[in-house]
Amino acid sequence: MIRPAPSIDALPAATPFIGPERLMREQGRGELVRLGANESAFGPSPIAVAAMRAEMDRVAWYGDPDSLELRDALAIKHGCSPENVLVGAGIDDVMGLAVRGWVAPGGLAVASRGTYPTFEYHVRGYGGRVERVDYRDDGTPDYQALIARAHAVKPAIVYLANPDNPSGAFAPRKQIERFYAALPDDTLFVLDEAYADFVEDEELLAPTFDDRLFRMRTFSKAYGMAGARIGYVLTTLQNIGTLQKIRLQYGVNRNAQIGALACLRDDEFKRRVVTETARGRDEYAALARELELAVLPSRTNFVCIDVGDATRATRIVAELLKRGVWIRKPGAPPLDRCIRASVGTAPMRAAFAQALRDVLVEVPA
Amino acid sequence: MIRPAPSIDALPAATPFIGPERLMREQGRGELVRLGANESAFGPSPIAVAAMRAEMDRVAWYGDPDSLELRDALAIKHGCSPENVLVGAGIDDVMGLAVRGWVAPGGLAVASRGTYPTFEYHVRGYGGRVERVDYRDDGTPDYQALIARAHAVKPAIVYLANPDNPSGAFAPRKQIERFYAALPDDTLFVLDEAYADFVEDEELLAPTFDDRLFRMRTFSKAYGMAGARIGYVLTTLQNIGTLQKIRLQYGVNRNAQIGALACLRDDEFKRRVVTETARGRDEYAALARELELAVLPSRTNFVCIDVGDATRATRIVAELLKRGVWIRKPGAPPLDRCIRASVGTAPMRAAFAQALRDVLVEVPA
């Protein structure tokens, strides 16, 4: 009789996400307007696509386990040493390493209730527990309550996404500096900056290398490389040394490394994506005004629209799916009264707008 | 003061592999004849390359977290249900899940001393320990001793690679059936079939779905997709359910999924790779005869050449590197008296042969 390790056996069977491909299969649909996973509708830089296509013949070679060239380029971007950078298969991967590295079995983490679910998935998966702090009713993380809880329970990790997911809220530099300074000395601050490329560098925490800070970035959002699975950590040499003991040495796709390096050489493309994303957010805000709904302020590539209550939000998501528009919604109060739509291209936004108008008639407040 | 989790803090800082890119940088070289990592010198199927190039524009989309289409195709290939297949970022990834899933902290695994190092890396990384069984002096795994050790220590996992790495040895179907049947009832048999595509299906264990069997395959070797990072597990629904609780939901590159699916549609290409690989092994055997060295029988895409002792083997590897030829050697006795070279293309094999002839003069027995 084969039994899993007891701590794994005890885990629930829940899956954090259902993919759109499964929904398409269940619905018998060949395609969906993909606005559910905050992918970039504007794709990656054509320079990155060309670089990846050119190297495709060499996919028989493993990628460089040290990502030397990419780390050199990232060190220049962030004003640090390549030794301060560790590349992984997206933030999900490096976040898992953070949890595995610092949260011992039975250990604690603190995070907002309903924030990016993969964080809690990892903490539970490695035998820890998340102490959850409610979002404020306006949908912003409750920074003061997170600090207070951290001092009360002394967690191994405090997790915060900034800009935040799923709310879209953004805390500017000074506020994050104060938040970070106020955390307990022996707590690792895991700062998820997946959406940081949508704000200006000057608005973000300055380059800071301190064992207490574990900062994560990705090529999945503004750089349009979600399918490539590539992201990285910025932290101290000591923390990187811990990750080196447990990371998958050959975990990153070679083509993803090549594409990411090329993305960094096309800042102009990224700027256009950021501009077009802001335009799309404005359009969603105008749509919400037309429909007499409120939107949450967002500095990301998605917008939460407040539809009044969680039941209605769930029904709207289901009805949109029947019309071929795939979005998601936050799972926990108070944000669960919202639907969350990624910024698409202009035609995708128009399809979403028309479908939402139709659906709201059928799903009244 | 930030401290990692105690079990992680206690791990050694060792890295299982040094990549050729780091060696090139250290040696100031722009390229190497890559024969160190058993990559396919024949690349992936042109059909797979074309499929991946065609989809590169859509790399902004996450891959399907369930790999539905690929699992359907793999189920047909292996005569099982798609529910018996779990896709991950290469065997390294799914092997890590096996260890995490079944080896509890303080738990045991049994494996040959000096076999694929990533297995032990994972076991140590998850707080377990590997009981090692020496290879026989002829370089083959000591199947009887592995069984005996398993009965003596009742490990959570017995790991065996077949065909074996680093020896190249292959145990045919009947022998693996007997091995598997002889293991303790409560031990998971983790069968690494990374090189199984180099032998005929009839020579391999029949499709078997039993909670005691965890069979791993990859697209990295005969299919020439190492850089894509994609492999899979064949096991029971119950075991897959355990993996589902802990795997990275979005861990596989979208393009890798597309390429793998296309590979399965080009069996003709794979057959040519297998034929050319056998030709290359014969050439290495002839080279060894010319140099009055023995080779270990291999059914993989690499060959171990016995150069007499470990010190000489280490020096030969270093001298070959100075000449731009990158190979590796097994790390533990008795195989450490060998050098191990992957089968390259005809020009790569010729470059290796000439460099080896030159080096042997400088590094006499």
d(CA A121, CA B247): 10
Phi-psi sector, B213: left (phi>0), alpha (psi -120 to 50), beta: beta
Q: Does B197 touch chain A (CB under 8 A)?
A: no
Cα B260 from Cα B86, distance rounded (Å): 14
Q: Which residues of chain B are within 8 Å of residue A188 when distances are taken between CB atoms?
A: 2
Confidence of residue A16 (pLDDT cuts 50, 70, 90): confident
Q: Report the alpha-carbon distance of residue B246 to residue B256 in Å, rounded.
A: 21
A3 in contact with B, Cβ within 8 Å = yes
Q: Mean pLDDT over residues A12-36, rounded?
A: 92
Sequence-distant contacts of A213-217: CB under 8 A, at least 24 apart: A213/A180, A213/A188, A213/A189, A214/A98, A214/A188, A214/A189, A214/A190, A214/A239, A215/A191, A216/A91, A216/A94, A216/A95, A216/A98, A216/A190, A216/A191, A216/A192, A217/A91, A217/A193
* C-alpha pair distances (Å), A91 with each of A99, A164, B77, B192: 12, 14, 33, 28
Residues of chain B in contact with residue A235, where contact means CB-CB under 8 angstroms, are none
| Range list of β-strands (E), chain A | 33-34, 85-88, 108-112, 129-133, 157-161, 188-192, 213-218, 231-234, 294-295, 302-306, 325-326, 338-342
Pairing of strands A129-133, B85-88: unpaired
Q: Does B245 contact chain A (CB < 8 Å)?
A: yes
Q: Which helix (H) or strand (E) holds B341?
A: strand B338-342
Distance, C-alpha B84 to centroid of its chain? 21
- Are the beta carbons of A102 and B13 separated by less than 8 Å? no
| Of A119, A132, A227, the residue nearest B230 (C-alpha) | A227
Look at residue A129 and give its three-state secondary structure. Answer: strand
Give the tens place of pLDDT for each residue, B181-217: 999 999 999 999 999 999 999 999 999 999 999 999 9
Prediction ipTM score: 0.97
Cα gap B165→B177, rounded to integer Å: 19
Which residues of chain A are within 8 Å of residue B22 when distances are taken between CB atoms? 64, 66, 68
pLDDT over 90 at A1, yes or no = no
Residues 15-54 of B with CB under 8 A from A: 15-17, 19, 21-22, 25, 34, 37, 39-44, 49, 52-53
Q: Looking at residue B58, what DSSP letter applies? A: G
Would you call B66 and A2 a contact, using CB atoms and an 8 Å cutoff?
no
CA A217 – CA A240 distance, rounded (Å): 15
Could you tell me which residues are beta bridge partners of residue A161? A192
SS3 A115: coil
Residues of chain A with C-beta less than 8 angstroms from the C-beta of B246: 8, 11, 125
Rounded Cα distance between B355 and B290, Å, is 14
Tens of pLDDT, residues A137-156: 999 999 999 999 999 999 99
**Across A15-43, average pLDDT:** 94
Nearest to B249 among A17, A65, A256 (CB): A17
Half-sphere exposure of A69 (CA within 13 A, CB side): 16
Q: Two tokens at B355?
A: 């460099």
Report whether pLDDT(A77) > 90. Answer: yes
Alpha carbon of A260: minimum distance to chain B alpha carbons (Å): 12
Give backbone dihedrals phi and psi of B344, rounded to 5 degrees, phi first. Answer: -95, -175
Q: Please identify every stretch of chain B with a pLDDT value under 70, giving residue numbers as ranges.
A: none
Domains of chain B: 6-43+268-362 (3.90.1150.10), 46-266 (3.40.640.10)
Provide the pLDDT for residue B15.
76
The answer to whether the peptide bond before residue B166 is cis (omega within 30 degrees of 0) is yes
Mean pLDDT of A107-126: 97
Chain A residues touching B12 at Cβ < 8 A: 245
List, for residues A81-93, the tens digit of each pLDDT value.
999 999 999 999 9
Measured on CA atoms in the order B331, B232, B228, A102, is the torsion positive or negative?
A: negative
Report pLDDT digits (tens) over A285-315. Answer: 999 999 999 999 999 999 999 999 999 999 9
What is the rounded distance in angstroms from the CA atom of residue B360 to the CA atom of residue B241? Answer: 52
Task: Count the neighbouring beta carbons within 10 Å of the beta carbon of residue A275.
Answer: 10
Residue B214 pairs with which residues in a beta bridge?
Answer: B190
Tokens of A61: 């070679």
Give the residues across from B131 on adjacent strands. Answer: B110
**What is the rounded CA–CA span in Å between residue A286 and residue A271?**
23
Helix then strand then coil, % of chain A, to nearest 5: 45, 15, 40
CA-based Rg of chain A, rounded to a whole angstrom? 20
C-beta atoms of B227 and A63 within 8 A: yes
Longest CA–CA separation in chain B, Å: 61
Integer Cα distance of A185 and A182 in angstroms: 9
Residue A24 corresponds to which tokens in the numbers above? Answer: 């398409």
End-to-end CA gap in chain A? 53
Rounded Cα gap, residues B159 and B98, in angstroms: 10
| β-pair partners for B188 | B157
Q: In chain A, what's the furthest Cα-to-Cα distance?
A: 61
Q: How far is CA A232 from the centre of its chain?
A: 12
A228 pLDDT tier (thresholds 50, 70, 90): very high
Question: What whole-number distance in Å separates Cα of residue A104 and Cα of residue B290?
Answer: 57
DSSP reduced 3-state for A234:
strand
- Pairs of residues, one from chain A and one from chain B, whose beta carbons lie less than 8 Å apart: 255
Distance between CA atoms of A232 and A247, rounded to whole angstroms?
A: 12
Of B13, B59, B103, which has the smallest distance from its Cβ to A228's Cβ? B59
| Cα end-to-end span (Å), chain B | 53
Q: E-strand spans in A59-118?
A: 85-88, 108-112
d(CA A278, CA A300): 8
**AA letter at A41:** A
Task: Supply the pTM of this predicted model.
Answer: 0.97
- Residues 262-291 on A with a CB inside 8 Å of B are none
Most A CBs within 10 Å, among B1, B2, B17, B246, to test the A interface: B2
A13 chain-B contacts, CB cut-off 8 A: 241, 244-245
Which residue(s) pair with B304 in the sheet? B340
Q: Please check the confidence at residue A123 and state whether its pLDDT lies above 80.
A: yes
Nearest CA-CA partner of B120 in B332, B326, B309: B332
The Cα A107–Cα A127 span in angstroms is 7
